[in-house]
Each structure stands twice: as C-alpha cells, then as structure tokens.
Structure 1
Amino acid sequence: MKRIFVLTMALALLGLCTLGHASPAQAAYDGPKLKFRVAHTTPPGNHITLAFEKFKELVEQKSDGKIKVQIFPNAILGSDRVLMEGAQKGSLEMAVSSTPNMANFSPLYQVFDLPYITSPDKQQQFYAAIDKGPLADYFHKVANDIGLEPIMYAEYGYRNFVSIKRPIRGVADLAGLKMRTTDSTVEVEVAKILKMNPTPVAWGETYTALQQGTVDGEGNTFPHMYGAKHHEVLKYAATTYHNYCMQVMMANKKWWDKQPASVQKVIREAAAEALQYQRDVLYPKNEREAREGFLKAGITIVDLTDEQLDEFRKATRPVWDKFKNVLPDDLVQMVLDTQK
C-alpha cells in the first residue's frame, strides 16, 4: 500500500510539473469567434488546393474551433483578377492570385515572370528571402500600398511549355504557336520573342480554348494543368522551367488591421505551417503524379538538356531589357541575389 501511495504521489507531481511547463504553442486560444472566406482558382486534388485546406484545418485547430474558414476553390467565385479585386474592395476577406495575374494590381510582381531569373536548384535561398527576408519586406509594402496584406506565398512551381501541335525540343518548335498567356506583359513579351502569338485567356477558359483550337498551347506547371484535366487535350510537353510562380494569399488590409493580435497570430502560424507542409510533402508528390498522368495520357514529354535550356535562356534574355523602366534595378538584383 505504501508503495502504491508513493507511486501515486510521484505521478501526480509529474503531472503538475508537466502542466507548469506547457509550451506557449499549447496554450488555449483566448481570442474572439470569427468566420472568414478564402477564394482561389485551383482545381481539386492540386497541391495548392490541399495547402489551403491544410491552412483551414490548422486555423480551426489552433483556435479551438472558434475561427472558421470557408474555402471557395476551383474558380467558383471567379478568376484570379476578380477574386483579388474582391479582397481589395472588402467583399472577400481573403483571395488568392498567381503572381503573374498580380500584375493587374502592381507591375512589380512581374519581376518573377522574367524568364530564368530563378532556377529550381536555388529554391531554398529563394524561400528564405520571400518568407522572412528582403523580398518579404519589399512585397509587404507593395501589397499594403494596394490595400492588401500578404498572408501566404503558396508554392505554384515552375512553368513548362506544352502544345497540341508538335513536340518541343528547341526554341524553333514554338514559332507560330498561339500561346495562352496570363495578363502579365512579361509573359506576353516572352511569347513574342519566341515568335509565338500570345493569346491572353482566363484560366477557367483555357481547357475549352485548347479543345477548340483557339490556342495551341500554354506555359504552366504539370500539376496545375493535370488537375484542370488539360492532359485530355494536350499532346506534347517540354521541361522548359522558364519561370517560377507563386499563389499569393492576400487579405483585405482594413479587415486584417481590425483583427486582434490573437487572431492574426493563429492565421500567421497556420499559414507558415501549411506552406511548409506544401513545399515538403504536397508539391513533390503532386508533381510526380501529374507527370505520370501526362505520360499515361500519351503526352510526349521532352526533358530538355542543359544545352537546350541554355538556348531558351539566351533567346529570352532580351525580354529583361524591355522592362528596365518598369522593374527597379534593386528589385531585380534582390531576386538575383537569391540565386547565388
């Protein structure tokens, strides 16, 4: 009996010690109840869609269910531009847009569209700069100046050229193709310099445009195209990796500034954790699955060699000169510094 008593007391003391040293992350949420909406254009199953679902899960978990997140995926509420205009005006609390489509709101986002300004083998340096480094600070001000608050730079990936017309093994194979682009003027100039015919088409209309021959191809990531079922109509692809893109989740700034610190903390933490999960787990898995899906659909994928990629780099470099008056030298250098 004495042993049992001593053991019981020891366990009780251990429990008190554990409670006394609980980490701040485990502290109960003491903020208000809240409900907000996030709208994006990404299709079901895509790593971007799954990242926002993870964000929702984490926000609700960290707030003990007091903060509810309503997700509107797959362009249900409109295109990137329409959604971000909603966030700007305050008719939506949060919206998501690709960085090329953010050019509708500030031309400075086009710096990421410059062909080959970043490369897949330097991603960790880039992440550090856009998450908490100089690029994060720079674009925080850019967003605030247009009435938005950046919450999460979700991974989108590197774009590749694809076609319904012919295999792509070099620059010459793109000539004459009607290429779907976003509203980014950089993207349009890239198409022009590669002797394609740029055709801006909203993302939600691209499948039909390919199907009907309104466009002959597009430049996008394999997961994004696969999730939107573009593999059903595409025939050829090449790993051009010609530019990197992000899906930026923005909040209406006035709405964000009204939220107490407890709410902002939960949202920031959830966004950071969801982003890391996306980069480490969701994106690599989705990239593999999309590539396999392309091959199973009979799409010919040409994996370009370093020499072939050099041809694309040299051919598209003059595009940079066309935007010297739009993109400040210090911003371009800031991105280039991430590639060292």
Structure 2
Amino acid sequence: MAYITRRAAMAVAGAAIMTLGFSGAASAQQEIKLGYALANTSHYGVAANKWEEVVEAEAGDRYSFTHFPSSGLGGEREVIEGLQLGTIEATIVSSGTLSNFVPETGVFDIPFLFRDLDHARTVLDGPIGQDILAKFSDAGLVALAWGEQGFRHITNNRNEIGGPDDVAGLKLRTMENPIHITAFETLGAAPTPMAWPEVIGALQQGTIDGQENPLSVITSAKLSEVQKYLTVSGHVYSPAMLLVSQQLWDGMSPEDQELFRKATSEAVTAMRGFVDEVETSGIAQLKEEGMEVGELTVEQKAAFQEALGGAYETYYETYSKDLIDRIIATK
C-alpha cells in the first residue's frame, strides 16, 4: 500500500495522464489512485484500507492501490471531477459536493431528518438510497456504496450554543452544500463554504469562528487544538460515498465488478464501526483535550426545528414532500 502527499499529487496526476496511452498491453496490473480528504487514521482511512485489503486478497496483483489521504489530490470537487476525466480511479467522499453532480443526494442533508444512525442506515441501504446511487451513472460516475460520517455537530471559538439566537452572526464554515447553507442562513449565521484543506488555517487565523462536522472528523482532525466550544447538536446526518470512475468500471470483468462491490460493502461496515466507536468515546476524548462541551436537549432541538421553518418550505420546493415523508416514515 502506497501513500502520496499533496506535494507530489499534481506530478503523479500529470504522469498518469501522460502514460494512459502506454498502459494497456504493457502491464496487466491496474493502479487504483484512491483519494480522500482526511488522514489515513480516520474513518475514511479505515474504509480505504479495508477496500484495498478485500480486493487484493481475491484479485492478487491485478490491482495496486495508491492512497492519497489528507486531500492529497485536492478538494473533494476536484477529485470527483478527476474521476469523471478518468485521471483518478476511486474516492471516498463526503456529501458536501455530491449534490452538485446528482441533486437528489441533497435530500439526506435536511436538518433533523433522521432519528438516529439505525434510521439513516436503513434508508441509505434500502430502495431510496440505492435509487439515488444509480443516478450517478448519468454524471459519468459509478457509485458503489453509501459510507458514513455520522451526525454533524458545531464547534466554535465565540460562545456556547443553547438556542438559535446563539448562532446569529456566527461565521461558520460549511461544506459546498446548498441545503446546509440555507439552514444556517435561516438561523442568522454567516455560513462560509470552504474546501476542507483550508479550514484549519482559517480557524487559526480567525477568518471563521467555527465549523460543523461529525465527531469522527472533529476528533481525527484534532479540531480541539483550534476550537474551544463543542455543541453536540446532531443537526444533520452526514453520509459519505464510495465512487469509482466509469473508465475503470467499464474496463473490468463482471467478476471484478462484483469483487469491488463486495469490497466497498465491507469497507462501509468497517467505516460504520469506526463511527459507532467514536460516537461512544469522542465526547469524552474532546473534553479531555480541553473543549467545553454542551449537548442540546430535546427541547432545545425543537427550538432549532421551529426556527428552521422557513428553510423547510424551501426544501419542499426542491425535494418532493412525498420523498421526505417516506424517509421520515422508514422504520
């Protein structure tokens, strides 16, 4: 298993383009450049390593994985565009930019849509989630499985958060996700879409006050070093996705396609296991690292839901109320 840093990424990507015309018959081994935003020790890394492990256990040396963790190939949008071009073979990506490629994915980002992790996983693994995966073929991508980050929570350096008024004016980094942006604008915050590689520096410099992410990201990215307050808000469930390029997929035998499906399924199981563990231990860890932690009560969450009434009306204009009701009703 090889690892490439961001410094070398552009050179590698360029070399990949130059050598495309000479690969074919020269070597039977297919390189899989696998890019993802977080460190190899994160839930993304856990999934990436399991993906490689399962494929290489059954395919032998037909495939060779090279990992590009910590945004080594650029931001998530850049990586997905690389898959479309065929210069990158695979990625594990958050839902942040997915709605730019398949708008329907945005429905899962609606605040307070899911009751708990079991509810979210049942929806994603069932007909609703699988139908959306299939739509990625229209974007020149092959979506193999839904991964997971967990429920998103807010960190910041300005103040504790106990209600909607505490969010007003907060300069908050969000993903490039119109659903999230609408929600925070409705609450009176100042959402600031920003690619993940820029976030730590922006927090250190005070360009933004805070950000929102699952505990799996907050802990693995060591945000306790640059943030004072954690609000366990659980305002949005954050899925991830395991994607490969159409070019890679079309060049595979049916047997290898099935192997990749099996490998990504096992990768998702490992990823969810990591999230389960962090959901249990992450808050205690962050307290030990010095963060001031507050958890929204049921009543406080209800106040946020009421304050988001205007945003929900906007969501109904984009996603059918029937689809949203089906998700809520899933047992």
TM-score, normalised on structure 2?
A: 0.86
Q: Deviation string for 1:142-164 (max 9, x for gaps)? A: 21111111122111110011110
Counterpart of 1:94 in structure 2 is 90
Counterpart of 1:320 in structure 2 is 312
1:44 deviation in Å? Answer: 3.4
| % identical aligned pairs | 28
Going from structure 1 to structure 2, the CA distance change for 1:242 and 1:311 (only over 3 Å counts) comes to same
Counterpart of 2:197 in structure 1 is 204
Counterpart of 2:60 in structure 1 is 64
Opposite residue 86 of structure 2, the aligned amino acid is G
Greater CA drift, 171-180 or 221-230: 221-230
Counterpart of 1:222 in structure 2 is 215
What's the secondary structure of 2:299's corresponding residue?
helix
User: Does the 8 Å CA contact 1:159/1:240 hold for their aligned counterparts?
Assistant: yes
Opposite residue 284 of structure 1, the aligned amino acid is D
2:121 maps to which of 124, 127, 134: 127
User: Does the 8 Å CA contact 2:46/2:267 hold for their aligned counterparts?
Assistant: no
What's the secondary structure of 1:63's corresponding residue?
helix
Counterpart of 1:232 in structure 2 is 225
Q: Deviation string for 1:253-299 (max 9, x for gaps)? A: 243133111111111111112212322x3222233443233112211
Whether 2:300 is the aligned partner of 1:304: answer: no
C-alpha distance in 2 between matches for 1:337 and 1:291: 30
Q: How does 1:149-188 map to 2 (within 5 A)?
A: 149-188=142-181
Opposite residue 328 of structure 1, the aligned amino acid is S
Whether 2:139 is the aligned partner of 1:146: answer: yes
User: Does the 8 Å CA contact 1:83/1:96 hold for their aligned counterparts?
Assistant: no
Whether 2:14 is the aligned partner of 1:50: answer: no
1:241 maps to which of 234, 240, 264: 234
Greater CA drift, 83-92 or 94-103: 94-103
What's the secondary structure of 2:316's corresponding residue?
coil
C-alpha distance in 2 between matches for 1:126 and 1:233: 30
1:193 maps to which of 186, 200, 203: 186
Whether 2:278 is the aligned partner of 1:286: answer: yes
1:125 deviation in Å? Answer: 4.1
Going from structure 1 to structure 2, the CA distance change for 1:148 and 1:333 (only over 3 Å counts) comes to farther
Opposite residue 102 of structure 1, the aligned amino acid is L
C-alpha distance in 1 between matches for 2:280 and 2:44: 15
What's the secondary structure of 2:188's corresponding residue?
coil
1:68 deviation in Å? Answer: 2.2
Q: Deviation string for 1:50-99 (max 9, x for gaps)? A: 12111111111122343222221110111111101111121111123211
TM-score, normalised on structure 1?
A: 0.84
Going from structure 1 to structure 2, the CA distance change for 1:192 and 1:85 (only over 3 Å counts) comes to same
User: Does the 8 Å CA contact 2:133/2:145 hold for their aligned counterparts?
Assistant: no
Going from structure 1 to structure 2, the CA distance change for 1:126 and 1:227 (only over 3 Å counts) comes to closer
1:307 deviation in Å? Answer: 1.1
Going from structure 1 to structure 2, the CA distance change for 1:149 and 1:333 (only over 3 Å counts) comes to farther
Opposite residue 41 of structure 1, the aligned amino acid is A
Q: Deviation string for 1:88-119 (max 9, x for gaps)? A: 12111112321132122232221111111112
Opposite residue 310 of structure 1, the aligned amino acid is A
User: Does the 8 Å CA contact 1:38/1:71 hold for their aligned counterparts?
Assistant: yes
1:227 deviation in Å? Answer: 1.6
Going from structure 1 to structure 2, the CA distance change for 1:136 and 1:191 (only over 3 Å counts) comes to closer
Opposite residue 305 of structure 2, the aligned amino acid is R
Whether 2:100 is the aligned partner of 1:104: answer: yes
C-alpha distance in 1 between matches for 2:70 and 2:32: 18
1:205 deviation in Å? Answer: 0.7
Give the count of matched residue pairs: 304
TM-align CA RMSD = 1.8
Opposite residue 305 of structure 1, the aligned amino acid is T
Counterpart of 2:7 in structure 1 is none
What's the secondary structure of 1:272's corresponding residue?
helix
1:33 deviation in Å? Answer: 4.5
C-alpha distance in 2 between matches for 1:289 and 1:37: 32
C-alpha distance in 1 between matches for 2:95 and 2:326: 17
Opposite residue 306 of structure 1, the aligned amino acid is V
Counterpart of 2:5 in structure 1 is none
For structure 2, list consecutive stretches of 5 or more residues without a partner in the other structure: 1-27
